[in-house]
Amino acid sequence: MAKKAAEERVKELRDAIRHHEERYYIDNDPEISDEEYDRLLHELEKLEADSPDLIATDSPTQRVAGRPVEGFVTVEHVTQMLSLDNVYDEGELKAFDERVRKGAGIGDTPVAYVAEMKIDGLSIALTYEDRRLVRGATRGDGVRGEEVTANVRTIRAVPLALGGGPRGRVEVRGEVYLPRASFERMNREREDAGEPPFANPRNAAAGTMRNLDPSLVSRRGLAAFTYQLVANREAAPRSHSETLTAMRKWGLPVEAHWRRCEGIDAVVAFCKEWADRRQTLDFDTDGVVVKVDDLALRERLGATAKFPRWATAFKFPAQQATTVLKSIAVNVGRTGAVTPFALLEPVRLAGSTISMATLHNAEDVARKDLRDGDRVLIEKGGDVIPKVVKAILPHPAGSEPWRMPSSCPECGSTLRRDEEEVVWRCLNESCPAKLQRGLEHFASRSAMNIEGLGESLIEQLIQQELVRNFADIYKLTASRLENLVVAPREPRSERARPRKLGKVGVNVVDQIERSKQNDLSRLIYALGIRHVGEKAAATLARYFRTMERVMEAPAEALQSVPEIGPVVAASVRAFADEPRNRQLIVRLTKAGVNMISRAPEPSHDPGPLAGKVFVLTGTLAAMSREEATEALERLGARVAGSVSKKTSYVVAGSDAGSKLEKARQLGVETLDEDAFLKLIIKN
């Protein structure tokens, strides 16, 4: 493709991808399928790989950084990020309104407020310079937070460049959160891997944003909403409602259900309306944020040392209920992890009927001393996942402490537990429950991406003994699936009758056939090797290039690969040493499944700056922090987040912070921007 044509196509693709990201992540109204979106992104990746000079920091391909950071830098906010005072009922809301009117000196004149859903997530400050994202920082103590720019860039709801708005430097504040579907998926994966689940989406979001590996952050599926504009007041609208409308036009994600309310009575009505409706949202909210709309009036009202006088948070009542714990059962995951859960007397809670609740592991049950027949207090963790808080004593007469079963409820095999773990496991590879969960993972979007091969169809295939392992999937034919008679999932339903799969079966076979061409990294991840996530699978595929080399590599060779530690290496070696697994790979190969990596081979050229460690601080005029990092890494250097005795150079731009001072204390050589650019150009 000619240079000019490539430039034009790259621009078209970037504009199209950002448009579809807005439709999906901000408007919740996608215009194309995920597969069509992926095709656009892959085409852009190929064009940029062929012409690296066309790569820009705000390209959609540059969201995920290539390597983990070493630590987070502390940065100072332009203005303090204040907390909100809380109110809990209508009377306290009206008392807040009285204080506002008194402070404004307007007597009984109604005040216009904006009511917004209170997002239960992690506060974030986004800095844009000439409409390009240059920094993301956590709230921290309100004055200083941690710079998490690399992680923020992975959140597709956050635009890397604004589609309008003021030039110069502007700070946008908002909330990073984990959608309910992402939270539930992530906890299922953690439980399958024998890891403790997160307690609620807020904790999960906070933990994710503080992870040092941006590629892991990307996989978690974080989202974001923005709600405030600071540090560019001459460009700001006159009211908060106008600000939200403008931010949305610039391409920033703004939660859609906010409302301008004329007077406090309208605010009260809004809070009552959403007390139950909040369950229809795809994110957690524990209240409503109420803000004075007029920005000039906000200035007059000011703030206390902790809270703005012009805003408050109305908190919804706690979501708890009591019911009877009928029995404790266990579930078998794809890795064989056997976890207990509670079967409850159905009870209404937070707008839905709850009949099951999570019990994290046998130790959790023992610690709470939960027994069959107990009356228990339950709550929705983060208003989503029901959990048992405690037993309400006394226990029923004659009840006994619960004991973890010694055998698998699905296949009868003896359960075992490693000394280092709290999780019991079924080690029988032929266990139907493990096969069910394993096939669901194998066909999932991030693995082999076989659309249509979901939980219910897999269950039918196992029951009818058409599939006994992953390789059997590739024996399924269009005629066999088209005529497959599937039983109803709810046999008591009047409309539920056994039926043929029909055209759905043909489509599934098409998807199975397409999956054969997936990159090797997807297959490695799909196999469900313990401790091997998407990133480790991609790393193994990239370095070893073929499945044969992965299977034959000694533990030492596996561990020599960057970011592959002893636990992952031992797990891969254990998988490869199992004869049944080696036979599975042979069968998959014969079925035509791709066993070769198509990713670019890692460079073995150490580069002129190999072994050097750089730390960047302040703002560079000629390039962004990301561009400077990319330039250094291309030359073989490593970019760290904090200064230590191992630091080779500190590059100090304008407004350099505490890292420059620490470099001087440690005697680390510093470079100003001119010296840094000369170093880059020379090498």
% pLDDT > 70, the chain: 87
Inform me whether the pLDDT recorded for 495 exceeds 50.
no
Lowest mean pLDDT among 106-120, 125-139, 495-509, 548-562: 495-509
Fold agreement (86-315, 520-590)? no
User: What is the average pLDDT across 474-480?
Assistant: 91
Report which of residues 520 and 303 the model is more confident about: 520
Model pLDDT, residue 558: 92
Give the 3-state secondary structure of residue 373.
Answer: coil
Contact in structure between 659 and 668 (CB atoms under 8 Å): no
So which residues are the catalytic ones? Answer: 118
User: What is the average pLDDT across 488-515?
Assistant: 73
Model pLDDT, residue 493: 42
Residue at 354: amino acid letter = I
CA-based nearest residue to 63, from 253, 260, 219:
219
Determine how β-strand 649-652 pairs with β-strand 613-617: parallel
Lowest mean pLDDT among 22-31, 202-211, 286-295, 527-536: 22-31
Q: Give the sign of the dihedral formed by CA 155, CA 158, CA 162, CA 168.
A: negative
Q: Which residue has the tokens 């995951």?
A: 333
Q: Which residue has the tokens 């908002």?
A: 174
**How far is residue 634 from each of residues 331, 625, 639, 675, measured CA to CA in Å?**
48, 14, 11, 18
DSSP label of 62: G
DSSP label of 25: I
Helix orientation angle between 201-209 and 180-192, rounded to the nearest 10 degrees: 80
Measured between alpha carbons, how far is 602 from 66 in angstroms, rounded to an integer?
12
Lowest mean pLDDT among 101-110, 363-372, 418-427: 418-427
**How far is residue 317 from each of residues 225, 321, 381, 439, 597, measured CA to CA in Å?**
23, 12, 14, 41, 53
User: What is the average pLDDT across 199-211?
Assistant: 76
What tokens were used for 192? 């399958």
Report which of residues 459 and 197 the model is more confident about: 459
Measured between alpha carbons, how far is 643 from 649 in angstroms, rounded to an integer?
9
Model pLDDT, residue 305: 64
CA-based nearest residue to 85, from 319, 305, 320:
305
How many CB atoms neighbour CB 575 within 10 A? 21
Residue at 125: amino acid letter = A
Model pLDDT, residue 618: 81
Model pLDDT, residue 189: 76
DSSP label of 56: -
Measured between alpha carbons, how far is 368 from 358 in angstroms, rounded to an integer?
13
Measured between alpha carbons, how far is 220 from 218 in angstroms, rounded to an integer?
6
Contact in structure between 649 and 668 (CB atoms under 8 Å): yes
Measured between alpha carbons, how far is 252 from 162 in angstroms, rounded to an integer?
7
Architecture of domain 86-315: 2-Layer Sandwich (3.30)
User: What is the average pLDDT across 259-268?
Assistant: 96
The CATH homologous superfamily for domain 432-515 is 5' to 3' exonuclease, C-terminal subdomain (1.10.150.20)
CA-based nearest residue to 648, from 606, 617, 611:
611
Residue at 568: amino acid letter = V
Residue at 610: amino acid letter = A
Measured between alpha carbons, how far is 599 from 538 in angstroms, rounded to an integer?
9
Lowest mean pLDDT among 26-30, 622-626, 666-670: 26-30
Q: Which CATH number fits domain 520-590: 1.10.150.20, 3.90.1150.10, 1.10.10.10, 2.120.10.80?
A: 1.10.150.20
The CATH homologous superfamily for domain 3-62 is Helix hairpin bin (1.10.287.610)
CA-based nearest residue to 326, from 372, 390, 391:
372
Q: Which distant-in-sequence residues (6+ apart) come within 8 Å of 415 by Cβ?
A: 338, 404, 405, 406, 407, 408, 424, 425, 426
Contact in structure between 40 and 12 (CB atoms under 8 Å): no
Backbone angles phi, psi at 627, to 5 degrees: -65, -40
User: What is the average pLDDT across 279-291?
Assistant: 88
Q: Give the sign of the dihedral formed by CA 374, CA 379, CA 385, CA 387.
A: negative
135-164 exposure pattern, b = at least 16 Cβ within 10 A, e = fewer? bbbbbbeeebbbbbbbbbbbbbbbbbbbee
Model pLDDT, residue 297: 94
Inform me whether the pLDDT recorded for 29 exceeds 70.
no
Report which of residues 178 and 657 the model is more confident about: 178
Model pLDDT, residue 174: 95
Inform me whether the pLDDT recorded for 30 exceeds 70.
no
Measured between alpha carbons, how far is 474 from 234 in angstroms, rounded to an integer?
63
Question: Looking at the domain covering 613-682, what would its CATH class be?
Answer: alpha beta
What tokens were used for 200? 């609620």
User: What is the average pLDDT across 625-639?
Assistant: 75
Model pLDDT, residue 455: 85
Inform me whether the pLDDT recorded for 651 exceeds 70.
yes
Inform me whether the pLDDT recorded for 383 exceeds 80.
no
Task: Locate the domains of the chain by residue range.
Answer: 3-62, 86-315, 320-426, 432-515, 520-590, 613-682
Inform me whether the pLDDT recorded for 376 exceeds 50.
yes
- For the entire predicted model, the pTM comes to 0.48
Give the 3-state secondary structure of residue 313.
Answer: strand
- The CA radius of gyration of the chain, in Å to the nearest whole number, is 28
User: What is the average pLDDT across 476-500?
Assistant: 69
Measured between alpha carbons, how far is 421 from 191 in angstroms, rounded to an integer?
12
Lowest mean pLDDT among 119-128, 203-212, 364-373: 203-212
CA-based nearest residue to 157, from 242, 255, 89, 233:
255
Give tens-digit pLDDT for 394-408. Answer: 999 999 999 999 998
Model pLDDT, residue 71: 60
Report which of residues 498 and 206 the model is more confident about: 206
For the chain, report the end-to-end CA distance as a whole number of angstroms: 30
Position 283 confidence tier, pLDDT thresholds 50, 70, 90: confident
Give tens-digit pLDDT for 551-577. Answer: 999 999 998 886 688 888 998 998 898
- 638 sits in which H/E element: strand 638-640
Model pLDDT, residue 422: 80
For residue 654, list its beta bridge partners: 619
Give tens-digit pLDDT for 320-334. Answer: 788 999 999 998 887
Architecture of domain 320-426: Beta Barrel (2.40)
- Within 178-263, strands assigned E span 223-230, 259-262
Model pLDDT, residue 368: 92
489 burial class (0-12, 13-18, 19+ CB within 10 angstroms)?
exposed
**What is the chain's mean pLDDT, rounded?**
84
DSSP H helical segments within 255-321, as ranges?
A: 264-277, 295-301
Give the 3-state secondary structure of residue 165.
Answer: coil
Model pLDDT, residue 595: 96
Measured between alpha carbons, how far is 157 from 147 in angstroms, rounded to an integer?
18
